[in-house]
Structure 1
Amino acid sequence: MADDKTHILVLPFPAQGHINPALEFSKCLASHGLKVTIILTSRVSKSAQVPSNSSINIETISDGSEEKEPESIEGFFKQFNAAVSQNLAKFIQERRETCPAKVLVYDSVIPWALDVAHQEGLLGASFFTQCLGVCAVYYHIHQGLIKYPYEDSDLLLPSMTPLEANDLPYFSFIPDPNNTVVRLLADQFSNLDEADWIFINTFDKLENEVKKPS
């Protein structure tokens, strides 16, 4: 008998602070009767700790690291983006007849995953692992509302209490706006308006003002 549960794919970014939130969110989805598959990349698949009795399926796709370790962070992202985008599409295609997925939940720092999802006929959901207040700062940098790099002593942003320079993420002070980390965090919003859902790791009552439309 075919499994008629809605199948959700979850693609975390392979870095500290990204995999565990994706795992916890996947557990939440599975607890509601959904079939969940977490797709890990080869770089982290051996070290990721998932309970053996978990109702979540774990699969691995190549990120290119088996062939050659990149020599720089720029090289890592170039290799990762090229390999994972190709292998993610292949993963979806190979299971279309036996275990088709309906939704891809992807880490917000890899926005190109939304393009892969839509190209393969899936809905796409962006998952932000950081709190809403931090995401709001990234968003305003992306929108050009924060002078970059930030130098003033205080900052007023829509729906947020006044911030001091020390409240901002460290990358706000990196002088090069084309820095790889700066681009990674700001580009989370490059195609966000095309996402079918947006999930943010937050406590609703603690960030009530931030979530209101400005």
Structure 2
Amino acid sequence: MDSKPHVMCIPFPAQGHINSLLKLAKLLHSNGFIITFVHNKSTHSRILKSSGDSSLHDSHDFYIQTMEVDEGEIVPFSLATYDNMRLIAFRSLMSKLNDPSSSVPPVTCIISDFVFSFAYEAAAEFQLPHVTFSSLGAFSFMSFLHFKQLIEQGLIPLKSEGDLTNGYLDTPIDWIPGMKNIHLKDLPSFVRTTDPNDLALNFMIHIFQKVFQTSAIIINTFDDLEGTVLQAMAEMLPPIYTVGPLSLFSDHGSSFWKEDMNCLEWLDGKLPKSVIYVNFGSIAVLTKEQLTEFAWGLVDSEHDFLWIIRQGLVKGDQESDVVLPEEILREMNGRGLITSWCQQEKVLSHPSIAGFLTHNGWNSTLESISAGLPMLCWPYYADQQTNCHYVCKEWGMGMEIEHDVKREKVTSLIKELMGGEKGKEMKEKALEWKECAFRAIKEDGSSSLNLDKLVKELLQRRDAI
């Protein structure tokens, strides 16, 4: 029987979560591991339909398995039901994998997305070590860890809807270890509720109380970027392995939408550092008014832009392509290209791209840092507010657009990024952070050394991390 360790990787079924864990799985596979990568059946079908990605088919020692789970809403109606539903599906899958007639060795370790609290019980039930994978950055991870204390101190839930606009969100939060200059508004968006029974808030508290039970935590980040909070986390959590940016280690990914390769040809015809790239990710939803304000802001900037407008980006348009008003399309006059999806890492590394107008999802933020690009930040949800704060206030490579977006502000920030003094400073900072990111993945870099350490631990100790 093959003596290789067999790692089961279970991502949360959202594109950013899947892609980052898939990159890690491919890295482990290249280091001698057998990998079983687990999708929801519906998620796997969707990815295959959109891309036919060969990396999502079984290959030598890399296997794709699916679990029959009805996801429903991202935040489930009942945490107990949610965990139990997945645990039942997981037991069925493990019975299949552990069948004596199987030619694949038994699973020796589970690596699951931090969202999946059921995996802790599953690992214990099957007497397997469990590792938590974080597709969040370390600052966001630490913020979530302290949601319970925010409630205990009476800071959340908010007393009324008025607290969203009366300055209450500017309340300093100066007691989270490793995090300076933070205010309530800079924490993940789930704090912005008046309901003590808010599902999302309580879901995250539930999840992050579980992480103390794991054997180790893997984070897609690098030490230079989030060193202060990583040091603080190391004093309170199981061993932490920073192995990012994963996008620089591996180009393996998958897509929920068919990728348009023609946009790269369009970029080939543009001058160096002349194009703004716009993408709000796979989850954000804009109103038609917000879409229109962004559109006019881009057009009025008089700079070229590539804008990803996926199906479902605009509220109420989930089943059809978004169409901008004719007046805006006329004004674009060849300076803008709109498409439904693209290979983002290739776009960001294209020499014509000057900056990234982004929702600040962690993958997008890290990919922009890796490409050395300044950002215009419009955070939408979850950890994106925290990422935006650090990009703009601490790392010096971004400027924020208010949630109530106005075309004049979009235009002025684009012009500042492209030709202003602040824009120049941001570009310099972005290049400095790019150097740090590449230094981390070099042979003697912090992330490479952590990856080596993780591999050795998994190879040498099959029964624990």
Same fold (TM > 0.5): yes
Distance apart, 1:191 and its partner CA: 2.3
Distance apart, 1:212 and its partner CA: 1.2
Aligned counterpart, 1:130: 136
Aligned counterpart, 1:200: 219
Q: What amino acid does structure 1 have at the position aligned with 2:136?
A: Q
Aligned counterpart, 2:54: 52
The answer to whether 1:168 aligns with 2:187 is: yes
CA contact (8 A) 1:62 1:87 kept: yes
Aligned counterpart, 1:83: 85
Aligned counterpart, 1:149: 157
Aligned equivalent of 1:212, options 218, 231, 238:
231
2-structure distance, mates of 1:18, 1:46 = 17
1-structure distance, mates of 2:114, 2:222 = 18
Task: Give the direction of change, closer, same or farther, for the CA distance of 1:72–1:59 in structure 2 (3 Å limit).
Answer: closer
Distance apart, 1:71 and its partner CA: 8.0
Q: What amino acid does structure 1 have at the position aligned with 2:22?
A: L
2-structure distance, mates of 1:187, 1:120 = 22
The answer to whether 1:179 aligns with 2:198 is: yes
Task: Give the direction of change, closer, same or farther, for the CA distance of 1:130–1:62 in structure 2 (3 Å limit).
Answer: same
1-structure distance, mates of 2:136, 2:130 = 19
Distance apart, 1:26 and its partner CA: 0.8
Distance apart, 1:33 and its partner CA: 0.9
Aligned counterpart, 1:113: 119
Task: Give the direction of change, closer, same or farther, for the CA distance of 1:189–1:11 in structure 2 (3 Å limit).
Answer: same
Task: Give the direction of change, closer, same or farther, for the CA distance of 1:38–1:159 in structure 2 (3 Å limit).
Answer: same
The one-character-per-residue Cα deviations of 1:141-173 (angstroms, maximum 9, x if unpaired) are: 134476213645222122112113432221111
2-structure distance, mates of 1:126, 1:5 = 21
Distance apart, 1:123 and its partner CA: 0.9
Q: What amino acid does structure 1 have at the position aligned with 2:46?
A: S
Task: Give the direction of change, closer, same or farther, for the CA distance of 1:136–1:191 in structure 2 (3 Å limit).
Answer: same
Task: Give the direction of change, closer, same or farther, for the CA distance of 1:108–1:72 in structure 2 (3 Å limit).
Answer: closer
The one-character-per-residue Cα deviations of 1:125-153 (angstroms, maximum 9, x if unpaired) are: 11111000001111111344762136452
- How many residues end up aligned between the 2 structures? 209
The one-character-per-residue Cα deviations of 1:29-53 (angstroms, maximum 9, x if unpaired) are: 1121111111111231112357415
Task: Give the direction of change, closer, same or farther, for the CA distance of 1:78–1:195 in structure 2 (3 Å limit).
Answer: closer
Greater Cα offset, 80-89 or 3-12? 80-89
Q: What amino acid does structure 2 have at the position aligned with 1:187?
A: H
Residue 94 of structure 2: SS of its match in structure 1? Answer: helix
2-structure distance, mates of 1:93, 1:143 = 40
Identity among equivalent pairs (%): 25
CA contact (8 A) 1:109 1:187 kept: no
The one-character-per-residue Cα deviations of 1:6-32 (angstroms, maximum 9, x if unpaired) are: 100011111242111111111121121
Aligned counterpart, 2:452: none
2-structure distance, mates of 1:90, 1:72 = 23
Task: Give the direction of change, closer, same or farther, for the CA distance of 1:130–1:206 in structure 2 (3 Å limit).
Answer: same
Q: What amino acid does structure 2 have at the position aligned with 1:110?
A: F
2-structure distance, mates of 1:140, 1:72 = 22
5+ residue gaps, structure 1, are none
Aligned counterpart, 1:20: 19
2-structure distance, mates of 1:106, 1:42 = 17
Output aligned runs, 1:26-65, within 5 Å.
26-48=25-47, 51-53=53-55, 56-64=62-70
Residue 8 of structure 2: SS of its match in structure 1? Answer: strand
RMSD (CA atoms): 2.5
Greater Cα offset, 50-59 or 117-126? 50-59
2-structure distance, mates of 1:80, 1:43 = 17
Task: Give the direction of change, closer, same or farther, for the CA distance of 1:160–1:94 in structure 2 (3 Å limit).
Answer: same
- TM-score where L is the length of structure 1: 0.85
2-structure distance, mates of 1:81, 1:45 = 21
- TM-score where L is the length of structure 2: 0.41
Greater Cα offset, 131-140 or 49-58? 49-58
5+ residue gaps, structure 2, are 159-167, 236-465
Give 1 or 2: higher helix fraction.
Answer: 2
CA contact (8 A) 1:62 1:83 kept: no
Greater Cα offset, 99-108 or 156-165? 156-165
